[in-house]
A and B are shown apart, each in its own frame.
Chain A
C-alpha cells in the first residue's frame, strides 16, 4: 500500500506478513496479529496476510529492505510463547517448525528468495508457539493473550527497522490497509 507516512522516514521500506489459516485454531495467529496492527504502523508500511503458498510473494520482497513475518509455531510446551528470530544472525530453527500445510512454507520461501537475491536484507520472524490447530476453533487463550504483545513488539520492530522510535501517535500513522492475499488455505 502507499500512504502519506512520515517525511524522511521511508528510507527503509518495510513489509509485514501475517501467515496462517484463520480457520484452524492457533494457525490464525499471523492473520489476527496483522489485524491488530491495523492503524498502528506508518502508512507506507505494507501489511499482507497470507494463508498458504508464499511463492507469489518472493518477487515482491525484492523491493523491500526489511521484512517482518509473524506465524504460528509448532507446540513446544508453552503455548503463547513468542520467539523473535533475526535471520541476519541465525537460521530458522527446525524445532519451531513453523506451520505450513504446503510445500513452500516460510523457511523455504526465505531460503529461495535469498538464493535468488530477492530477499530483504533484514528479516525478522516472530513465531508464536501454538497449542491447538483444530479446524474451526478459535485461538487458545494463551495464544490469544499473546496477540497484542507480539503486535506491540512488531510496532517497535518496524520503528527500529525504519530508524524511528516506532511511536504511533503522530499523524500519518493511521489508516493502515491490510491486504489479504489468498488468506485461506485448503
Chain B
C-alpha cells in the first residue's frame, strides 16, 4: 500500500480559507472533502437584539465583494415582514446598484482570478505580461462597477446608502450621466471579454446539476422571483426551509446546504443562466450562441463564459435603467415595524442569498437565518472535485493539483474575506 500527498500551501485566487483532501484507493477517488476551518463569524447571533434599521449596514460587513447581496436580501426581508412594497424608480435603483456589484465582482473573478488558469499563468501579474490589454480591460470593468456602487451606495465597499424602504439619498440624473458613459465603454469591453474567454480550451466535463435560482416573470433575476430548479422545484422564497436544510459536516465549520429530497444543488451563474435564458435580451442570447453556448451550460469550466455574459447583461440593464431614470419624490418609503417574520432572497454574483428575520413589535430582531451562496455550493464543489480528479488520476500530481484548484475557482467561492489559502492533499493507497 502506498500513500502519496500533494500539498498546495498558498492559493491566492479564492476568497476564503480552506483545504482539500482527496482520498484515492485502487485508482478511484473515494472521497473529496473541502475543509473549511475558518472560525464562525456569528453574524446571525449578534444580529439578535438589533433594530431593523441597523440591519442593512451590519449584514453588508459579511462580504467585501458582494455587500449589496446581503443588503438587498435584508431589506426585502424587512419589508416583507412589515408589509412594505418598494416599486417604481426605487425598485429600479435597487436593480441598478446590483448591476454594479455583478460587474465589479464578475470582472474581478473572470479576469484577475479565473482566466490565469486557462492561460497557464500563475496569477494575473504573470498573465499581464502576455495579455496586458485584457488585464487593463478587466480593471476598467471593475472600476465601472465600483463607480456605480459608489454613486448609489455612497462608497464602493460596504455601501452605506441602502435602507429599508429605499435609500437614504437618491442620485440626480446628472450624477448618473457620467456613469452611463463609462458603462457604455464597459459594455464594449465586456462583449470583447466574452469572445476572449470563449476561445479558451475547456476540459470536457458535463455535470448533471440540479440548478437552483430565482425566476421572475419578466426579468433576469436580481432581487425578486420564485425559487425554481430544473427538476420539480418551484416555491415561494418563504418556503425555503421546507425544501432545503443546512447540515453540519465534520470537516467544515461552514454549514452544507442540501435539498432535503435530493442533496447537492448548484446556485450561481450557470444556474441563473440555465433557468432564465429566456429572460435575457436578444443581444445577450446572440452573444451566447456566438460564444458556443446553448440555453443550458453544464460544463463548470465554461462558467467563466457565463460570468462574462452576465457582465454584458448587467451593463445593458444598467444603461437601460439609467436611461429610464427619473428621480423619485422620496428616497425611501415609510417603514413602520410590526411583529412578524420576513423573508428575502436575491441573486448574489455567486448565487442565491437567502435571509429570514423574526421581529418583535418594535422591529427588534429576535432570530435570523442567513444562507450565503458558497454554503449552498459546497456539496457541489466536492462532487465536482471528485469527478474531475477521477478523470485525471493518471496525471502527475502537479497537474491534478492545478486542475483541482481550477475546479474550485469555477465556483468563484467566497469562503470568507479574511484569508486565502488552500492545502490540497492527495492520499493514494
Interface residues of A (CB under 8 A from B): 51-53, 55-56, 58-59, 101-104, 108, 111-112, 115-117, 181-182, 184-186
Contact = CB atoms under 8 A, between A and B. Distances in A.
B135 A116 contact: yes
Contacts, number: 67
Contacts of A182: 155-158
Interface string B286-321: 000000000000000000000000000000000000
A102 B156 CA distance: 15
Interface in B98-114: 108, 112-113
Given A52-B157, A101-B417, A59 B132 contact: no
Interface in B136-158: 136, 139-140, 142-143, 146, 155-158
A115 B128 contact: yes
Q: Chain B contact residues (Cβ within 8 angstroms of A): what range?
A: 20 to 34
Interface in B344-395: none
A116 B136 contact: yes
B158 A56 contact: no
Nearest to A104: B112
Given A59-B139, A59-B140, A186 B418 contact: yes
B419 interface: yes
Given A111-B125, A116-B132, A55 B417 contact: no
Nearest to A59: B139
A59 B157 contact: no
B420 interface: yes
Contacts of B155: 181-182
Given A103-B113, A108-B125, A112-B128, A51 B157 contact: yes
B143 A53 contact: no
Interface string B116-133: 000000011100110010
Contacts of A184: 157-158
B61 interface: yes
Contacts of A52: 64, 157
Given A59-B143, A112-B128, A101 B419 contact: yes
B389 to A, nearest CB: 25
A103 B414 CA distance: 12
B12 interface: yes
B95 interface: no
B187 interface: no
A117 to B, nearest CB: 8
29 contacts: A51-B157, A53-B64, A55-B108, A55-B139, A55-B142, A56-B142, A56-B156, A59-B140, A101-B418, A101-B419, A102-B64, A103-B12, A103-B113, A104-B112, A108-B125, A112-B124, A112-B128, A115-B125, A115-B128, A115-B132, A116-B132, A117-B132, A181-B156, A182-B155, A182-B156, A186-B62, A186-B158, A186-B416, A186-B417
Contacts of B420: 102-103
A102 to B, nearest CB: 7
